């Protein structure tokens, strides 16, 4: 992979905090230890054991030594900063949805909305506690795994000009990093090699038959003191991801927290330079009958020595194929059956496409998020909690 020097000013991350923050001890999957072939089986078994501990207890883990050059990631962050710093009047010509989540209707499946659609999500799109609205911008890329389709969206010229560079990164995540994880998932679940990947593989230029999802550059501007007091320091409300697996570039700003499945406490996620933060999403929780945990996470204001800086990261929300029924029957894992992780009676059958559509459009709506407390109001999709706060149904 040739490394291209960025033509844009670099995004400057804040320095790691000196505050005494008790960062949680997350599992670390070192992909440099991954080995193919029969001779690599002991290495894969060892990695699968480490991964199983992470996905069944915390739902979060780090990946290090993934193989994608940091120089290229830095260039993509510089590009993302340039995109998100375009004039407001330009951004409003390329919106992913409406200006407010409440205006993106559940009734129109052709419009994906600001959460999942291609283009910009503006600030104040999402409702939060006590009448506050978010101060976050993001830009979504779609169809990056499909060369003939990825230019079809209403993007500004700067995006079209650099789409190949962006697509290269997300294709690497999908076809290299995710595929290795799928091999390890198969080992964990005691299913044939390739079982999980079949739910996520790609038919080029045919999204309806492909796993995938979308890429995102997400920029946090911070909040006013008044709004932050109302949200008790929360910049992005606690939620679970509607994806199967989510990949995030590790960032030094001490803001990302997840809600521990066992004790209900918020835990800070630390920083691994050059690493990826990976979390299980709802789809993978459903497919494993909640053996893998789609953990609630949020972003909060950083400590004092990191204030006054923006937070920018690259995210990949990866979904299973649109027609996959997201229940344990789709994996047919003898291990899950032996351990009793089956579809609960209250879960109606639902596909990836149906879950993604309703979950994506429910996020940030005032009817769900306009309450006083930390948790959103309970909202069910096909008998399943839209946000996996309790992981009981």
Q: What percent of the chain has pLDDT over 90?
A: 79
Name the CATH superfamily for 27-385.
B-lactam Antibiotic, Isopenicillin N Synthase; Chain (2.60.120.330)
Query: Hey, how many other C-beta atoms are within 10 angstroms of the C-beta on 85?
Result: 13
Question: Could you report the per-residue pLDDT of 321-333, keeping only the tens digit for each?
Answer: 999 999 999 999 9
pLDDT-derived band at 377, boundaries 50, 70, 90: confident
Tell me, what's the pLDDT at 126?
87
DSSP collapsed to 3 states, the chain: CCCCCCCCCCCCCCCCCCCCCCECCCEEEEHHHCCCCHHHHHHHHHHHHHHHHHHHHCCEEEEECCCCCHHHHHHHHHHHHHHHCCCHHHHHHHECCCCCHHHCCCCCCCCCHHHHCCEEECCCCCECHHHCECCEEEEEEECCCCCCCCCCCCCCHHHHHCHHHHHHHHHHHHHHHHHHHHHHHHHHHCCCCCHHHHCCCCCCCCHHHCCEEEEEEEEECCCCHHHHHHCCCEEEEEECCCCCEEEEECCCCCCEEEECCCCCCEEECCCCCCCEEEEECHHHHHHCCCCCCCCCEEEECCCHHHCCCCEEEEEEEEECCCCCECCHHHCCCHHHHHHCCCCCCCCCCCEHHHHHHHHHHHCCCHHHHCCCCCCCCCCEECCEECCCCCCCC
* Residue 49, token pair as written in the block: 């054991």
pLDDT at 392: 44
263-299 per-position pLDDT tens digit: 889 999 999 999 999 999 999 999 999 999 999 999 9
Which pLDDT score, from 0 to 100, does residue 108 have? 63
Domain ranges of the chain: 27-385
Q: How many angstroms separate the first and last alpha carbons of the chain?
A: 45
Q: Token pair for residue 298?
A: 């949020």
pLDDT at residue 353 above 80? yes
Band of pLDDT at residue 140, cut at 50, 70 and 90: very high
What is the mean pLDDT of the segment spanning 48-68?
97
Give me the mean pLDDT over the 304-320 stretch: 97
Distances (CA, A) of 303 to 68, 81, 219, 255: 30, 23, 18, 8
What span, in angstroms and rounded, lies between the C-alpha atoms of 114 and 284? 23
Which pLDDT score, from 0 to 100, does residue 60 have? 96
Q: What is the mean pLDDT of the chain?
A: 92
pLDDT of residue 107: 57
Burial of 171 (0-12, 13-18, 19+ CB in 10 A): middle
Residue 370 has pLDDT above 70, yes or no: no
Distances (CA, A) of 262 to 291, 344, 392: 13, 20, 13
- Predicted local confidence at residue 393, as pLDDT: 37
Find the mean pLDDT for residues 132-139: 95
**373 pLDDT band (50/70/90 cuts)?**
low
Residue 362 has pLDDT above 60, yes or no: yes
- Per-residue pLDDT tens for 201-251? 999 999 999 999 999 999 999 999 999 999 999 999 889 999 999 999 999
> How much is the pLDDT for 2?
47
Q: How far is residue 305's CA from residue 315's CA, in Å, rounded to a whole number?
A: 25
> How confident is the model over 58-79, as a mean pLDDT?
97
pLDDT at res. 162: 96
Q: What is the pLDDT of residues 141-181, one digit of tens each?
A: 999 999 999 999 999 999 999 999 999 999 999 999 999 99
Higher pLDDT, 335 or 262: 335
CB 326 within 8 A of CB 287: yes
pTM, full prediction:
0.95
Q: How far is 158 from 317, CA to CA, in rounded Å?
A: 23
């Amino acid at each position: 992979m040739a490394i291209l020097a960025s033509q844009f000013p670099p995004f400057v991350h804040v320095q790691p905090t000196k505050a005494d923050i008790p960062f949680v001890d997350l599992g670390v999957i070192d992909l440099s230890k991954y080995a193919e072939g029969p001779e690599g089986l002991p290495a894969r078994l060892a990695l699968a054991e480490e991964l199983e501990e992470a996905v069944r207890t915390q739902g979060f883990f780090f990946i290090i030594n993934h193989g994608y050059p940091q120089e290229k990631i830095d260039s993509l962050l510089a590009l993302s900063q340039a995109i998100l710093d375009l004039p407001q009047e330009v951004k409003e010509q390329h919106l992913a949805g409406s200006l407010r989540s409440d205006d993106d209707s559940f009734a129109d499946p052709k419009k994906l909305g600001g959460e999942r659609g291609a283009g910009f999500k503006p600030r104040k799109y999402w409702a939060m506690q006590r009448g506050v609205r978010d101060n976050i911008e993001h830009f979504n890329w779609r169809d990056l795994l499909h060369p003939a389709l990825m230019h079809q969206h209403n993007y500004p010229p700067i995006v079209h000009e650099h789409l190949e560079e962006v697509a290269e990164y997300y294709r690497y995540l999908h076809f290299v990093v995710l595929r290795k994880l799928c091999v390890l998932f198969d080992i964990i679940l005691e299913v044939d090699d390739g079982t999980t990947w079949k739910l996520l593989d790609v038919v080029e230029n045919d999204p309806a038959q492909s796993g995938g999802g979308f890429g995102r550059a997400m920029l946090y501007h911070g909040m006013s003191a008044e709004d932050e007091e109302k949200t008790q320091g929360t910049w992005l409300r606690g939620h679970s991801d509607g994806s199967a697996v989510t990949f995030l570039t590790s960032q030094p700003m001490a803001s990302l927290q997840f809600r521990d499945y066992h004790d209900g406490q918020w835990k800070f996620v630390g920083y691994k330079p050059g690493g990826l933060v990976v979390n299980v999403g709802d789809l993978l929780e459903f497919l494993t009958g909640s053996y893998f945990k789609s953990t609630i996470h949020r972003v909060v204001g950083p400590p004092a020595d990191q204030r006054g800086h923006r937070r920018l990261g690259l995210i990949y929300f990866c979904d299973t194929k649109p027609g996959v029924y997201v229940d344990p029957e789709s994996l047919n894992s003898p291990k899950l059956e032996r351990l009793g992780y089956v579809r609960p009676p209250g879960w109606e059958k639902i596909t990836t496409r149906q879950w993604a559509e309703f979950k994506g459009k429910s996020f940030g709506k005032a009817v769900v998020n306009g309450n006083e407390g930390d948790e959103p109001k309970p909202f069910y999709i096909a008998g399943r909690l839209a946000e996996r706060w309790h992981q009981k149904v």
